[in-house]
Amino acid sequence: MGFFSKKIDKKLESYQRELIETHYREVDNMYRQIRGWRHDYRNHIGTMKAYAAVEDWEAIKRYLDLLDEDLTTVDTVIKTGNPMTDAILNSKISLAKARHIEVVADAHIPLGLKTSEIDLCCIIGNLFDNAIEASMKLPEEKRVIRVYMDMKNTQLYLSFTNFTAGKKLKKEGKRFRTTKGDGHGFGLVRIDAIVERLDGYISRNSEDGAFTTEILLPQI
What lies within 8 Å, CB to CB, of 191 at 6+ separation is 122, 123, 126, 127, 202, 215
Instruction: Give the whole-angstrom CA distance, residue 64 versus residue 153.
Output: 44
Q: What is the pLDDT of residues 111-154, one digit of tens each?
A: 778 888 778 888 998 899 889 999 999 999 999 999 999 999 99
Angle between helices 2-39 and 41-53 (to 10 degrees): 30
The predicted pLDDT at position 29 comes to: 64
Q: What homologous superfamily does CATH list for 78-218? A: Histidine kinase-like ATPase, C-terminal domain (3.30.565.10)
The predicted pLDDT at position 139 comes to: 93
Model confidence, pTM: 0.65
Question: What does the mean pLDDT of the chain come to?
Answer: 78
CA distances in angstroms from 44 to 16, 35, 48, 149, 217, listed in the order given:
42, 14, 6, 36, 45
The predicted pLDDT at position 65 comes to: 84
The predicted pLDDT at position 28 comes to: 64
- Within the chain, which residues score under 70 in pLDDT? 1-38, 70-77, 166-187
The predicted pLDDT at position 158 comes to: 96
